[in-house]
Structure 1
Amino acid sequence: MSTPDRTPATAVVIGGSTGIGRGIADAWAAHGIETHVFSRSRPAGPGGDRLVWHPTDLRDSEQARKSLRSGLPDRIDLACYSAVYFTSRREPFTATTEADWLDQFAVNVHGLSWTLRAALPALRAAAPGLFLHVSSEVVYNAGPHRSGYAATKAAADSLIRSVAQEIDPADVRFVQTLPAGMVDTPGIRARRPAGFDYGDYMTPASFAPLAVELARTRGTGYAGEALVVHEDASWSSVSRNLPVSQSRPVADVGV
């Protein structure tokens, strides 16, 4: 049985100024949803003027929690957590600085927990509210030179799945999504050499159809799922096919 089309009034996207979060925020705003973005940088380019921006630096716990407390709207029908911190490059665990290690936990794990605590009351009031978390294939594959990223994304995945078991899906439905391959984002471009060919990379817009579907259905039929989005903008459940690892071989075994 299909679910009636319901247009949510308000959405929030944490980490929605660029990348996958921006693709989701743009999709929701384009469908008439009042969309608030919490991020370090102001959403720029086409569609940026449709987004309500709240300056938020998740590496600064006091500022981030204050921004969430004061900026989250009273009504939240949809929430998406897409904020992520990797590092400037892939490197062995022993070469990762303590600052980078702590920043990965601050953004990838603690920021998610602050968002859940702040947004869940309003999402419950929307009944059913939808919480969408942008995950990663590294949760299922781990990989060399990505230890901090792998550890924090796995922790975030476990947090979402655990909280989802505490809350009636009639109140809030939790869905996770992740790309099937590499996505062309400013963060990725900052780690690639000049002249790199992004022709086979996905784009954030690939997530728009899923975002619209989840907004329309409030996650009906998808609660508890982790959905892999493919280059053609289709999606499938990780329960059917695990995502392919994006790790690169370690050239020097002694590293």
Structure 2
Amino acid sequence: MTALAGRRGLVVGGSTGIGGAIARAWSEAGMDVHVLSRSQPGALRWSPVDLADPEAARTVLEAAGREPLDAVAFSAVSYGDKRATFSDTPLDQWRTQVEVNLHGLWLTLAATLPSLRAARPGLFINVSSEVVFNGGPGRSGYAATKAAGASLVDSVYQEEDPDLVRIVSVLPAGMVDSPGIRRRRPADFDYSDYMRPESFAPIALTLATTAGADHNGDNLVVHPDGTWTPIHDHTPISQTHRSRV
């Protein structure tokens, strides 16, 4: 596939999970993809970054943002060690979630918007979550930071000229089987009803090919079969149940 040949993309948090699927889909379609993450994503061009270290992360992001960019995806996330009530959540876990999920998003936008504007139009994809719309027990820090990030992205979308930058949020309809999730589950956990990160490949290709045309400002829910629907058509159900906290 060469649909994206000659274009350049950046995926923050693109070594595994949804971000990894987006990075691979873009690369396989011919895009020159640069991944920023803590772990190396196979053969893709990579620079190490730890968003929990904001000063070091800012340096890496600013360097990446000085390159020409047609598309950027932010998929970095800190879930915490396990689901826990607010009263059982340590302060350092909350601070890490703020640094990664919210401040990392802010730093990424600040570093890359100038290059995306120069692409006329550039595309920014924010990997969101149903917690933005549902909240839920056992994930207050994750829910709060993802909701704040969604509001940040929506505000920037309203500020930016759509002829220069288009901003789209994507989120899974259900739980996604990823290394981050597996670290939080028992060894014998059954993932048969979980989504696979590869479900995000079709939407990643469509958005990058069209630079987000017809979807600027949208929240798109991605389904296991790779199709997607706008959030206003059907809000995903909460992935948290009190019995699982």
TM-score band (shorter)?
A: over 0.9
Distance 1:39 1:207 in 2: 19
Report sequence identity in percent: 53
Q: Distance in 2 between matches of 1:72 and 1:172?
A: 14
What's the counterpart of residue 157 of structure 1? Answer: 150
In the alignment, which of 34, 39, 42 is matched to residue 41 of structure 1?
Answer: 39
1:82-127 deviation per Cα after TM superposition (whole angstroms, max 9, x unaligned): 0000111100001111110000000000000000000000000001
| Equivalent residues, number | 243
Q: Distance in 1 between matches of 2:11 and 2:4?
A: 19
Unaligned runs of 5+ in 1: none
Report if aligned partners of 1:39, 1:57 keep a CA contact under 8 Å in 2.
yes
Q: 1:133 to 1:251 in 2, by over 3 A?
A: closer
Aligned match of 1:84? 77
CA contact (8 A) 2:62 2:112 kept: no
Where in structure 2 are there 5+ consecutive unaligned residues?
A: none
Equivalent residue for 1:61?
54
Q: Which amino acid aligns with 1:209?
A: P
Give the match for residue 16 of structure 2.
Answer: 18
Secondary structure of the equivalent of 2:36? strand
Q: Which amino acid aligns with 1:225?
A: D
What residue identity is the alignment partner of 1:180?
Answer: A
Match of 1:94 in 2: 87
State whether residues 108 and 152 of structure 1, in contact with CA within 8 Å, keep that contact through their aligned partners in structure 2. Answer: yes
For residues 220 and 8 of structure 1, what CA distance do their matches in structure 2 show?
19
Letter in 1 for 2:96: D
* Alignment partners' CA distance in 2, 1:73 and 1:202: 35
Note if contact 2:4-2:31 (Cα within 8 Å) is conserved in structure 1.
no
Instruction: Give the Cα separation in 2 of the matches to 1:184 and 1:56.
Output: 23
Question: Following TM superposition, by how much is the alpha carbon of 1:6 offset from its aligned partner in structure 2, in angstroms?
Answer: 6.5
The equivalent residue for 1:141 is: 134
2:187 alignment partner in structure 1 = 194
How far residue 7 of structure 1 moved from its aligned partner, in angstroms, is 4.9
The code of the aligned residue for 1:186 comes to P
Kindly provide the amino acid, as one letter, of the partner of residue 94 in structure 1.
Answer: S
Question: Which digits, 9 at most, give the CA deviation of each residue in 1:13-49, with x for residues without a partner?
Answer: 0000011000000000000000000001111xxxx21
Counterpart of 2:10, as a letter, is V
